[in-house]
Structure 1
């Protein structure tokens, strides 16, 4: 469920007649009795306030006995302390039914009881399933059973016959053995008011006292975390408490909407009613949920899909879902039959997590490419009039759509390349590439565009330098284009960028170093690899996702080639290993030293 609009739907209904009034009152009980209503956002508070007002209006038209019967319906309980407090202010029959059906946590009870009306607190003594902490709280507040007190606690005027003397005669030997309070001459000790009321004070029965002792004993044993075999047990013949077990797998069946209606073994009460298309605790739409919804709508099998169940500890956690659609003899879809199983733990191999993430990204991109490719194909069919003549206006729109689809597919390719490079699944092809020639060619392509803005990127080359790298020319050209084009698109009006390409030889290594100053727009970015600068002219386009992503992809390509791409102050510095051999190779651009573009 993407959003819960049930409360708004109920409030929009204008009901008439006794049956309609009762139905709407019962619906409001269900919705306001859920614990998550209290946690709604600020925008829902007015809606909840309107629901409370509507419930009060319905209560004036429905008699108290009918409302109490609805609250006492078998199998229904509510977990909202707000609803319990609201109903406790109403008629005694309604208040008694509400406090008997409330299923609250210890914290909710502790905050609710002091706020209850005095006449409603006594109804809680009719319950025998309250936590021990709440029983103690009721004792402290002086909330006792409504039965008659024991004979020893009757007032003196009712317990003593009229002929019994009072005053000093009450202390005579003939009055010994009489209850102290019957004479009324001996005050209670001061500390009696501070001590915890015992069973005789509160009028609790022997059975309730024994139940309290058993509950206290079990709680202390759980807190001590003793072993079942060595923990002392009361001689009541009960079995030792066993640790909660974890279920490894179970079968299930659903209806046509994806709701579980049957489960194998003793798992049924834990999962029946859950929906595959809206699992508990999901909250928002993700790829997994969309895949399940798509499979259910298309009546397709579900195989090896990761799933998360919430609820009892025995079923909570991660699962792997396998299910097949079922059909009756007439060919009608009847639901799914499948199995939940715990996922096999993965071995802790370095890079395994990154590889799995890269696989997920590639699977996502594959799912996205399919509709984009279809859109591109249909647009080209219209633009090329393969199925018949089409108006020129439609052909122009189709051509624009096909171009946009091509750019989107190119962006998907960049995402896929970055994911594979960062996880080591892709390597740069070997070959021989001349960095000086490639950089000069790229700057020559960029120069005419920058001239319209009176901007330029000037490249300085070290004389007599060999700048060959042992990698494929196309890969190196793409790397340089991403770097230089991202810098060029950020150039402001009249701004000049200086770049220098030098060999660095020393300590047994030979590297090519390209240093390029950053334009003012990029220099202000705190994280250059997250910059959002986008091209203002379609003639220079380093990528679909802007300069920051292009820098990140170029950095991944440089690392895969054994080099680096880093920011040093206001400069971007690219280093790549040079091609070395027994005899030094001559530079192809010795004569072009000091050349520039723009």
Structure 2
């Protein structure tokens, strides 16, 4: 069976997916019974196939084989996939203690952080994780892993992989979030915090904090100086760390909410194991700088709105050129083109349109950070009709995710004050984000509500999917949050970013996005009372 699979080189994406599923299932069930040569060739084939197999398929496979994943080499291969895939495997895999100990050196910091959260691992594995120090719980920076090219003798050969196009957009998302985080967020304002405590491991990475949001500090290193306005510490801390010396009033820069972001001063003492004398890290306290510690004449923070818009322009220009050439090929404007090339060109046109939509969302998010909230628009749109159209446009996504969408109507009519384009973007982005985080087979239930024609607001209520049923409001608005704990690699824009975008657009229209315990509710200004008044005036005449 496995020899047959390896002999057939997958000709297209569908064949690659089938081969991935078959090889994963065989190794999970009978890996310990195969010969060393079959194991080596199978793992090599999976490594070659991985770039061609969608992340959603790899997640489904990991979920299917995780509970009976007792073949250590296969667990190691999945553990070194993107976080959304590896976390599923590592939370459920059952290996012998010797296999776990052999696997640990080949795992990254994110994988070890998942294992550190398990309570069912053998005692020896927990001791091994503890001996690795803070690396087992640190939040690592994303790394780009190059796939090894296969030997010419192998029947399955990798296709040329283009440069990682989403990386620029992901960086753009990070920059926009940095820009937005310095502005006031919806809800009650919070005063900047005054002090906090933290500890590092022997590598200088902060692994424990009390007094500020964990995400703003965990994973930063005091062993290396940060430059260019990036979060981190200055050279004073890095120099003292190398000497294992006391750190006094070193500078630290944080990002995050208004309560956490900005400059801090911290002092720290090294601590050592009393029994062995081994260096264990630093224990520190941080405070806001005094007025006399701030440099005079410091320029105001650079407004990154212009630079973000410039980067968006730089992304859009080549994208338009690529899409234009693809349309020329698919339309055979310069002469006949083979069906294979036309199919490729049509795929490029579709992908370019998807990326264009993402860029439009990013531009809207960048603009909303400085835009003044205006009075509700005088334009009247039929929100009920727009919701129906969006439901129809999401049919392919719903089928691919195996999710059902059911939005009922309560009351009516559903006329609102906003622009047609903004309502389409708000409803489309909200539903798409919730479908993306729904489990296969789930039903996404919602209501479009206007309880009275004189209500000021229309409401689109969507019941929380089970994967985010117990997530807090802060977690849902965090661009790094998803049910797997990381932004999904399959979605360039995360759930948190999408919800922030919807809320920004709604507030610009005079509405808002509420995150309740059971549902997410989009409020939009109602035009029903005005329409009713006009109808009554006509009847009076």
TM norm. shorter chain > 0.5: no
Q: TM-score, normalised on structure 1?
A: 0.33
Look at both structures and tell me which one has the larger radius of gyration over its CA atoms.
1
**Higher RCO structure, 1 or 2 (CA under 8 Å, sep 6+):** 2
| TM-score between the two structures when normalised by the length of structure 2 | 0.37
